[in-house]
Amino acid sequence: MKKFISKFQGRIKAILSGFDRIVFKGTILPLVRAESAMDFFRSRGVLNKDFKPWVMAQSQKIVSAAERYAESHGAGRIEPIRNGQVRKEELARRRLRERGIESGLVGVWSALESCWSYKACFSKEAGYPQLQRTNTKCKHLYFYLLHPEYGFMQLRLQTWFPYHVQVAMNGREWLGRSLLGAGVDFAAKDNKFLHIDDFDLAQGLLDAQLDTRWDAMLEGFCQDLFPDRSAILGPHLGYYWTLWQSEWATDFIFDSPAAIQPVTDSLLRHAFITATGPRVLRYLDRPLRLDGQPRANLPEDVLSRLKRFGEGLRVRHWAGGNSVKCYNESNVLRVETTVNDPGKFRVHRHAQGQAASEPKSLRPLRKGVADVALRAQVSGEVNRRFVDNLAAGGDRTSLAELFDGVVTAHRKGGRRVRGLDPTGKDRELLLALGDPALLVGGLTNPWLRESLAMSAGFRGKTDKQRSAKASRILRLCRDHGLIRKLPRQNR
């Protein structure tokens, strides 16, 4: 990312990194298995055969409570939506503009949508009806708010058992409200900031979002949209919250649209043309074979698309459910990582229930809100890798400039460091360092020995001699600034 910033030095006035769209889902874990659900109804004195009448009665309570909530907050009655093509957010934003709402409930809409629940089916083995999981449709309530702290947001409640909840909000909307509270002037378009009087404060506010006590915040919303939860489910059943979808955006804010327009098309076309399968997989931290090619049993498709979008182009790369994209609007160039399948990323963390004093290990990134900060870190790294490649677009640096720093001998710490020979004895070394697998994984002494096993300097040597030579090569590369030392690896 430093190269990209250096390339446009003088034209980029600020960089903002933080969440854009974030969607949370609340699930009552004891009710997701049929056996546990039947235990719940048994404890409530409800027979399995009476499942549907009981749930219908509770559903009516939920809808009635929502109607009272809407009317008491000046939003009127619940409005049904019978056309699945209608975008509920557009309806809410139109009402927001027409009524000039500055804070509070915008409105409540209802729609019949797909979900999963249970049905009572007679079991020959048990001799009486049992609950079975099934896909169905039920009424969902959509609450749209202009929250005084979090901005425009949506809350969705499934009115049929087991009462899933979804909360959608936007980190940039949240930032805008925080800036207003701090008395900082800014100019924004949609969810992009074209100018902020204090960019350092803005980045600090985005960083502070990661310290939020997510469970407490999300449970607070549920008290308003599902006030009868304790009466229906009892006081001890609570929601388990997951971050179902996240978008992490890095915005490069240029001085003006004129400063960005001449370069965006060439940069984005470069990002599309160079989007080989291995490169996209390394953007999104997917493993490759030792030769840098995708594995034969790769479970997901790798796709890239370049299209007209807004004021210019948008390039987007997918690997399964995760993607990274880049586009421009006005004076903002945005790089954004969308994570729908966090388990594809591996992070250093403790196992569930493991003591904090025990060592962390490499494990899949979880959907739970406990890993929100780790997801932000992973998404930021994807953006960085994409921007590092973007920096090469339209590069006019001559070969002489590129090579001068490494082919010339110099002195460091009182000793002579020889220059590299890119077309001679160091050719195979530099080709090995260009392996896309190293964009994430780093290189080690054993890896280098294996990669250069058939080169002239390694053939016919003992393991000890090859290890010593690899160590000398790594030191030489560090002295030329080609790699840097990290604990137990080089990058």
Q: What is the pLDDT of residues 120-148, one digit of tens each?
A: 999 988 889 999 999 999 999 999 999 99
Residue 202: per-residue pLDDT: 97
Q: Are 57 and 191 within one domain?
A: yes
Q: Are 178 and 272 within one domain?
A: no
Question: Quick one: DSSP state of residue 100?
Answer: T
The band of 151, judged by pLDDT with boundaries at 50, 70 and 90, is: very high
Q: Are 123 and 261 within one domain?
A: no
* Distance between CA atoms of residues 56 and 120, nearest Å: 14
Q: Are 336 and 434 within one domain?
A: no
Residue 169: per-residue pLDDT: 97
Tokens 């040597």 sit at which residue?
A: 461
Residue 72: per-residue pLDDT: 93
Question: Higher-confidence residue: 353 or 195?
Answer: 195
Residue 77: per-residue pLDDT: 92
Kindly report the average pLDDT of the chain as a whole number: 91
Considering Cα of 473, then 477, then 479, then 480, what sign does the dihedral take? positive
Q: Are 416 and 310 within one domain?
A: no
Question: Higher-confidence residue: 439 or 94?
Answer: 94
Residue 400: per-residue pLDDT: 81
Question: Higher-confidence residue: 460 or 80?
Answer: 80
Residue 491: per-residue pLDDT: 67
The band of 192, judged by pLDDT with boundaries at 50, 70 and 90, is: very high
Q: Are 75 and 146 in contact (CB under 8 A)?
A: no
Q: Are 426 and 282 within one domain?
A: no
* Distance between CA atoms of residues 468 and 445, nearest Å: 9
* pLDDT of 426 over the 80 cut: yes
Residue 309: per-residue pLDDT: 83
* pLDDT of 335 over the 80 cut: yes
Task: State the number of CA atoms in the 13 A half-sphere of 93 facing the CB.
Answer: 9
* Distance between CA atoms of residues 140 and 138, nearest Å: 6
Long-range contacts of 478-486 (CB under 8 A, 24+ apart): 479/412, 479/417, 480/405, 480/406, 480/417, 480/420, 481/405, 482/406, 482/433, 483/433, 483/443, 486/442
Domain end marker among 390, 419, 454: 390
**Nearest Cα to Cα of residue 114 among 138, 132, 83:** 138
pLDDT tens track for 291-321: 677 777 777 888 999 988 877 789 999 998 9
Q: Are 237 and 260 within one domain?
A: no
pLDDT tens track for 383-399: 999 999 888 876 666 77
Q: Are 272 and 430 in contact (CB under 8 A)?
A: no
Tell me which residue range forms the domain holding 311.
Answer: 2-12+252-390
Residue 393: per-residue pLDDT: 76
Domain end marker among 182, 213, 248: 248
For the chain, how big is the Rg over CA atoms in Å?
28
Q: Are 224 and 356 in contact (CB under 8 A)?
A: no
Residue 440: per-residue pLDDT: 63
Written as one letter, the residue type at 195 is H
The answer, yes or no, to whether the previous bond of 278 is cis (omega within 30 of 0) is: no
Residue 374: per-residue pLDDT: 95
Q: Are 443 and 327 within one domain?
A: no
* pLDDT of 404 over the 90 cut: no
Task: Provide the pairing of β-strand 192-196 with 240-254.
Answer: unpaired
Structure tokens at 203: 């980045």
Residue 339: per-residue pLDDT: 97
Number of domains the chain contains: 3
Average of pLDDT values for 142-171? 96
Domain end marker among 390, 408, 429: 390
pLDDT tens track for 110-119: 999 999 999 9
Q: Are 178 and 327 within one domain?
A: no
Q: Are 274 and 329 within one domain?
A: yes
The band of 93, judged by pLDDT with boundaries at 50, 70 and 90, is: very high
Q: What percent of the chain has pLDDT over 70?
A: 97
Q: Are 109 and 83 in contact (CB under 8 A)?
A: no
Written as one letter, the residue type at 352 is Q
Q: Are 448 and 430 in contact (CB under 8 A)?
A: no
Q: Are 274 and 236 within one domain?
A: no
Residue 394: per-residue pLDDT: 63
Contacts of 215 (CB under 8 A, 6+ apart): 241, 369
Q: For the CA atoms of 49, 51, 57, 59, what is the dihedral angle to 10 degrees?
A: -160
Q: Are 75 and 194 within one domain?
A: yes
pLDDT tens track for 6-39: 888 888 999 999 999 999 999 999 999 999 999 9
DSSP per-residue string spanning 22-77: EEEEEE-GGGSSHHHHHHHHHHTT--GGGHHHHHHHHHHHHHHHHHHHHHHTT--S
Q: How distant, in Å, are the alpha carbons of 31, 49, 74, 357, 472 from that of 162?
A: 6, 17, 29, 37, 62
